[in-house]
Structure 1
Amino acid sequence: MRSWPPDELWQMAKPLMPAPAKRPQGGGRRRADDRAVLAAIVYLAQAGCSWRKLPATLFGTSRATVHRRFTE
């Protein structure tokens, strides 16, 4: 999935991604890769499947993360 989405699509979508929120306390878990999240969202749109059917291991991020970032 490293090569997906294509660079052209990624360059168009990258400015639309919300900036990560600043964590004043620091720490926490590393933010999921924006490109992997975009790949999962496009997969859902193309496959027409439900959130529950998303193969999260294929994209390296959880369904909950993809759904939360989609709503952002």
Structure 2
Amino acid sequence: MIRRHELSDAEWEFVQPLLPKSLRGRKRLDDRTVLNRIVWKFRTGTAWRGVPERYGVWATLHTRFRRWALDGTFERMLQAARARADSTGGIDWLVSIDSTVVRAHQHAAGARKGAP
């Protein structure tokens, strides 16, 4: 049963090949379960320790998140999703740049009154 805030089968099939493979060490927690934890954590905005117990130990989630963040896994996922959306016309590349400058009054800078 897919719960709210968890990856669908189609989403999992898309990201699974982008995840690093662990070939050594002890058997680890399933990547899909860990990724569902990460998705749940960020979609709900809770603290790492607030992740439901049905997902297991929060420290495992945090460790895997940090490892994937540092090795570029999430960046690869973003690039692949962007490339897929662009190839199907799902991205409108119209960009607007605003060069407005707002100047603050000199007294708005936070200096103390009467300072030399």
Matched, 1:71 2:66: yes
Distance 1:71 1:17 in 2: 13
Q: Which has the higher contact order (CA 8 A, sep 6+)?
A: 1
The structure with the largest alpha-carbon Rg is 2
TM-score under structure 2 normalisation?
A: 0.49
TM-score under structure 1 normalisation?
A: 0.74
What are the within-5 Å matches in structure 2 for residues 10-49 of structure 1? 10-23=12-25, 28=26, 30-49=27-46
Report the aligned-residue RMSD.
1.7
Structure 1 unmatched ranges of 5 or more: none
Q: Which one-letter code corresponds to 1:62 in the other structure?
A: V
Distance 2:39 2:23 in 1: 23
Distance 2:64 2:18 in 1: 12
Q: How many residues align?
A: 64
| Structure 1 stretches of at least 4 aligned residues deviating more than 3 Å after TM superposition | none
Structure 2 unmatched ranges of 5 or more: 68-116
Q: Which one-letter code corresponds to 2:32 in the other structure?
A: R
Find the residue that maps to 2:28 and give its secondary structure.
Answer: coil
Q: Which residue of 1 aligns with 2:54?
A: 58
